[in-house]
Amino acid sequence: MKRYSAFSIFREALRNNSGWQRAWAAPEPKAQYDIVIVGAGGHGLATAYYLARNHGIANVAVLEKGWLGGGNTGRNTTVIRSNYLQDPSAAIYEKSRSLYETLSQDLNMNIMFSPRGVMMLAQTEHEVRGYKRTAQANALQGVATEFIPPARVRELCPIIRIDGPRYPVLGALWQPRAGTARHDAVAWGYARACSAMGIDIIERCEVTAIRSNAGQVAGVETTRGAISCGKLALVVAGHSGHLAEMAGFRLPIESVALQALVSEPIKPCLDVVVMANTVHGYMSQSDKGEMVIGGGADGYNNYTQRGSFHHVEETVRSLIETFPMLSRLKMLRQWGGIVDMTGDRSPILSKTPLGGCYVNCGWGTGGFKAIPGSGWAMAELLAKGHSPLAEAFGLDRFREGRFIDESVAAGVAH
Amino acid sequence: MLILTCPCCGIKADETELAPGGEAHIKRHGPGSSDAEFEAYLFTRANPRGVHFERWRHAYGCGKWFLAARATDTLEVFGTYPATSTAVPDAILSRIRARRPDWIKPDRIKPA
């Protein structure tokens, strides 16, 4: 694989761009792999990448029923932050955020990580208290955040309406090294790096059954033939429940639709990410100038990748209250992704009742930010059988009542 | 937009009028049950990509709970029935089978 560099761009400019290679290979599936990962989204590809890079296991296949990064990896609002309340969450999300800092160099692919800062608005007295508590917790966890007063909010984000009649801005939880990245590039970068290390990425290959032998996973049946494997990792977000049923167990997960929308492009006016959880909406401005807007999730199970219209209306209505200048903006596109929600709104990285079968799911509305950290921990779990970062996120936490309750502390509107 | 007919008041209500209440027909496991049964009752849920049975409440209407049979992959509604039903009515089962001949009524699978 040729390295990308400023020199390669210059050289290809002189050669009419005739020397670019495929970013990743398209191999036929082999009959047997050490580890099969189902799902070539960000989490699945990152898992494969760290398996090869950190643990030297490269006899790995990543199976994808559609196209690479075509699920939630390509459907999110690209926010990266780690200002969580609970210690296990802060550890894995901060690991992830810190990996994002150097990911472009590690993958030799510009993922456009932009640490522009994330501001979570406190619009009620309860939120002020909650975010002050989170800021203190973050200080103990080694995550750089601070609670900032309204004057500083206005300084960082001049277009915001500080003294709105219903939900005035009373302050914000500010994480200066949080931000955004180019979501597709993250998937492409991991895929390219995986392919270069000899990992097979097999697209348009849907898993139709999971084979087991005496309580131990034996392989998978796919639309491109049977593949046997030593270990199996299900990293399929919203479709985890569907695959778990194939493997013969159930997960404490329900799949719902979460929507986002973008406006027409406008001149630069917002250089931070603003989240307003009381009114269920968050927003950033893309490099193209579009306002990228996310809202709340639907309350009922849904696999259709489209959400309810009234949620769009609620999100936009509340954002206009906080950002009055948006009221004349036209919206260009709206889309939905299927998110896998657990009871405590924390992910599951765990072994399962089927021996050799592992799951990585339940990231719910906040999976994109976790891609590198999740891959790092999942690779360790697959290679060694345990991982310090993943330990608290086991399935047994539901039986034992050790919840990692982020439903009140999490940033996005759940 | 999802539209369900409330079996209590007979009104065709859209989802802004309704509050979703999660999976239907869950058996409560209380004192004397095993840890696994209680965990399953509290947390494990059917999450099919297809036919699903749910509880709903006509929150901004008559206020009553009811049950609905719905497809999660197409948003097709097979029918609604009273919350007092302990099993899915035959009329709704036959409507589902007419629309989806391959559908097999699931038993509860062992929880993780």
**pLDDT higher than threshold 80 for residue A413:** no
Position B112 in a domain: no
B26 contact A CB<8A: no
Span B22-26, mean pLDDT? 91
Position B106 in a domain: no
> CATH assignment of A29-109+182-251+344-400, given 2.60.40.420, 3.50.50.60, 3.40.50.300, 3.30.420.40?
3.50.50.60
d(CA B68, CA B75) in angstroms, rounded, equals: 12
Model ipTM?
A: 0.89
Position B105 in a domain: no
Span A328-332, mean pLDDT? 92
- Quote the domain boundaries for residue B76: 3-26+33-99
Position B55 in a domain: yes
pLDDT tens, residue by residue, A214-250 = 999 999 999 999 999 999 999 999 889 889 989 988 8
Phi, psi (deg, nearest 5) at residue A312: -60, -45
A241 contact B CB<8A: yes
Position B43 in a domain: yes
Determine contact, residues A103/A259, Cβ cutoff 8 Å: no
Phi, psi (deg, nearest 5) at residue A81: -160, 165
State chain B's mean pLDDT as an integer. Answer: 90
**pLDDT higher than threshold 50 for residue B112:** no
B3 contact A CB<8A: no
**pLDDT higher than threshold 80 for residue A410:** no
| Confidence (pTM) | 0.93
Q: CATH no. for residue B86?
A: 3.30.2270.10
**How many domains are there within chain B?**
1
For domain A118-179+255-342, the CATH superfamily is D-Amino Acid Oxidase, subunit A, domain 2 (3.30.9.10)
Predicted pLDDT at A411 = 45
A35 contact B CB<8A: no
Position B8 in a domain: yes
**pLDDT higher than threshold 80 for residue A194:** yes
Asked if B73 lies within 8 A of A303 by C-beta distance, the reply is yes
Asked if B112 lies within 8 A of A303 by C-beta distance, the reply is no
pLDDT tens, residue by residue, A4-47 = 999 999 999 999 999 999 999 999 999 999 999 999 999 999 99
Domain boundaries, chain A: 29-109+182-251+344-400, 118-179+255-342
Please give the DSSP secondary-structure letter assigned to residue B16. Answer: G
Determine contact, residues A272/A160, Cβ cutoff 8 Å: no
Tokens of A331: 């919206």
CA A340 to chain CA mean position, Å = 12
**pLDDT higher than threshold 60 for residue A168:** yes
**pLDDT higher than threshold 80 for residue A307:** no
